[in-house]
Chains A and B, each alone.
Chain A
């Protein structure tokens, strides 16, 4: 991934080109196979279905987006705090690590059912599933970031008389920001999948996931594709949002000088 800020305008163009190419390939596939629209709807049909049903779809999108966003934030915060605790206290790391790996080895679909049994048809199981997916890459990456801090750097901080709290805040914590965003970017594309799985299992409130199931059952393939498009937009949008935040919060990775707000200017002598 190119994280240079100067190249940020380039990727935007590449995104447009990539999307056009996907649509062209999709249309070509329809023409080449000659399959009827209820098997593969052409892009135009998917888009017109999307627009025709927009009033309803927009509400569903809002619901799924809401589950994704809250679950994502929960997973990110829990993952980050857990990683910090694990990185600072060895016993915690030893105890928690096996549980973490087991938690990710269990198929997420298998977790969904018991969660519904425990928490009901409301939003809670969806949030848990999304958070469950997001927190793992965050934990792993932040732990790596903490471990990557040079021992000599920590010795230097000690020799400079740095207390453990200040050393943590000044030397260790910033070393986690880059890795944190690596985890957050992975999580951003997966999070929406979690919300959909949650909705599939059982839902009192309709979202894009439930719509997908219903449309599929009704042979409304164009509707399935419309929902798919919207889910993709959520996923890509989340990723780009996190990526933009990363560029803002890690200026040292993309710039050679500090941004204006962080620049030193000679302070005026007191009059």
Chain B
């Protein structure tokens, strides 16, 4: 396994200046099952891309390859012009499971990456506390995760991902386990974070409304074999008030996507 702390090697040519992450002709096979077929995608710096698809379309496989947890059968992952295929730890990663360490406080969980790599310093903790306070967790820094609601725990998990400092963040159905009301609040919260912090986000979901509300572009994937069926640009102005959920553009996009998913 390559050391994730090593800087990636050999810059590659032919990347456009604004391309942050490039997924190049990815194929993943598990025995005779083709999990991903010819998946190619370029993501611009600061872009919010949603990957949308029913279960079994290879969304999570794609994330596991991009994060470096899973080796692709063929294809490569290029980050900032450098090949990072099979190098874990180049991008941030967040799951539907909040994966809190129950014995660490909210702040202790947020500073986990620092603790795991070099030991968290007072400066790390102060910065994390400042960040968390800015996004509504200020009263809970010394709480244990079990004392928080599911939504709050996902906020902590998001803060932990941000504090890890990676410019590209993979979010795998982070709000999938939350109820509809909480989820909408979380989506708005995430958009605010993304606007402030200017990270590049790849967001997996199977919720069509969520994808349209959040994304600059939506990558629609279909199963057997998992592949990209369509890429749609979401032409909705930002910031997006809740009213966009009922605009013609929104509904039009939704219809288009539904045709791919349930044709």
* A binding-site residues for B, Cβ under 8 Å: 150, 152-153, 155-163, 166-167, 170-171, 174, 177, 250-252, 255-258, 262-264, 266-267
Contacts and interface: CB of A to CB of B under 8 A. Distances in A.
A49 B107 CA distance: 58
Given A152-B95, A166-B116, A267-B122, A159 B144 contact: no
Given A160-B116, A267-B123, 20 more contacts: A150-B99, A152-B99, A156-B95, A156-B99, A157-B116, A158-B88, A160-B112, A160-B164, A161-B5, A170-B101, A174-B101, A174-B103, A177-B103, A250-B103, A256-B144, A256-B146, A257-B143, A264-B107, A264-B141, A264-B142
A170 B93 contact: no
Given A155-B69, A159-B93, A174-B103, A166 B146 contact: no
Nearest to A269: B126
A256 B147 contact: yes
B125 A159 contact: no
A34 to B, nearest CB: 56
Contacts of A250: 103
B115 interface: yes
Contacts of A267: 122-123, 125-126
Given A256-B143, A266-B129, A162 B117 contact: yes
A152 B63 CA distance: 13
A27 B69 CA distance: 68
B89 interface: yes
B67 interface: yes
Given A250-B103, A264-B142, A166 B125 contact: no
A118 B100 CA distance: 50
Interface in B188-211: none
Contacts of A159: 4, 67-69, 88-89, 91-93
B105 interface: yes
Contacts, number: 92
B173 to A, nearest CB: 13
Contact of B142 (A153, A155, A167, A263): A263
A161 B116 contact: yes
Interface in B110-138: 112-113, 115-117, 122-123, 125-126, 129
Nearest to A250: B103
Interface in B60-103: 67-69, 88-89, 91-93, 95, 97, 99, 101-103
20 contacts: A152-B95, A156-B99, A158-B69, A159-B88, A159-B89, A160-B116, A160-B164, A161-B116, A163-B116, A163-B117, A166-B115, A170-B115, A251-B144, A252-B102, A252-B104, A252-B146, A257-B147, A258-B105, A262-B142, A264-B129
Contact of A264 (B115, B125, B144): B125
A158 B115 contact: no
Contacts of A263: 105, 142
A158 B164 CA distance: 12
A152 B105 contact: no
Contacts of A158: 4, 69, 88-89
Contacts of B117: 160-163, 166
Interface string B150-165: 0000000000000010
Contacts of A160: 89, 112-113, 116-117, 164
A256 B145 CA distance: 8
A266 B143 CA distance: 15
B105 A162 contact: no
Contacts of B147: 256-257
A69 B51 CA distance: 60
B153 to A, nearest CB: 13
Nearest to A150: B99
Contacts of A157: 112, 116
Contacts of B105: 257-258, 262-264
Nearest to A157: B116
Contacts of A174: 101, 103
A266 to B, nearest CB: 6
Contacts of A177: 103
A161 B4 contact: yes
